[in-house]
Amino acid sequence: MPLVEIVPPAFDLDLDLCYATADNVTGKAIYAADARAYLLPEAAELLDRAVALARPLGYRLKVFDAFRPSEAQWRLWNTYPSDEFVADPRRGSPHSRGAAVDLTLVDMEGRELEMGTGFDSFTPQAHHARTDISLAAQRNRAVLLGIMTAAGWDFFKNEWWHYQLFNARARFPLFSDSALTKTMMAPD
């Protein structure tokens, strides 16, 4: 099954692939500097729907991660081997199926809205429905959750930034395209 590249202007959103930089939970680049975002066609369609729902509210989406090769999942797991935030690569992640996206809301000038924690903040404050974060962050998380669920996405309760297709593990195999994986991964 081919993956769809998530790239402006085809998708009216911002991209900041954090795993292509050292600005992530591992402290080093997992993806190559020129890595790109990909999703299954069904997920790409739902992402486009979410973009359309955000726009009249005065928001845009910023994508941090989408398809994640299994090798990248192993790098995350080796750094943070806890399924509270990182899927065990032996059973696979919805990301490794092209069925998940990590994102946030930005205003029309591209400034990220306050969410209470940053992306990849593997702490209890990253869980949905936290009341020990600012009211603005609670509101912004609720708006993001509303946009994404209205667009047809499921969410992961432990990460305010993570959305996935319903029943992704049961519906989709781990995506394996060695050529794509080789172009995405940063050298060890």
pLDDT at 188 over 70: no
38 phi and psi angles, rounded to 5 deg: -135, 150
Positions marked catalytic: 159
- Max Cα-Cα span within the chain: 45
What stretches of 55-162 show up as alpha helix (H) in DSSP?
70-79, 135-150
- State residue 68's pLDDT score: 93
- DSSP 8-state code for residue 8: T
Ramachandran area for residue 173 (φ above 0: left; ψ -120 to 50: alpha; else beta):
beta
pTM confidence score: 0.92
Burial class (CB in 10 A: 0-12, 13-18, 19+), 99: buried
Summarised one tens digit per residue, pLDDT across range 96-127 is: 999 999 999 999 999 999 999 999 999 999 99
Q: What is the rounded average pLDDT of the residues 16-31?
A: 92
- State residue 179's pLDDT score: 55
pLDDT classification of 65: cutoffs 50, 70, 90: very high
What are the sequence ranges of the domains in the chain?
4-184
Q: What is the rounded average pLDDT of the residues 133-159?
A: 98
Of the chain, the percentage scoring pLDDT greater than 70 comes to 93
- State residue 61's pLDDT score: 98
Q: What is the rounded average pLDDT of the residues 68-72?
A: 90
Q: What is the rounded average pLDDT of the residues 86-98?
A: 93
pLDDT classification of 33: cutoffs 50, 70, 90: confident
Q: What is the rounded average pLDDT of the residues 174-186?
A: 65
| CATH-assigned architecture of domain 4-184 | 2-Layer Sandwich (3.30)
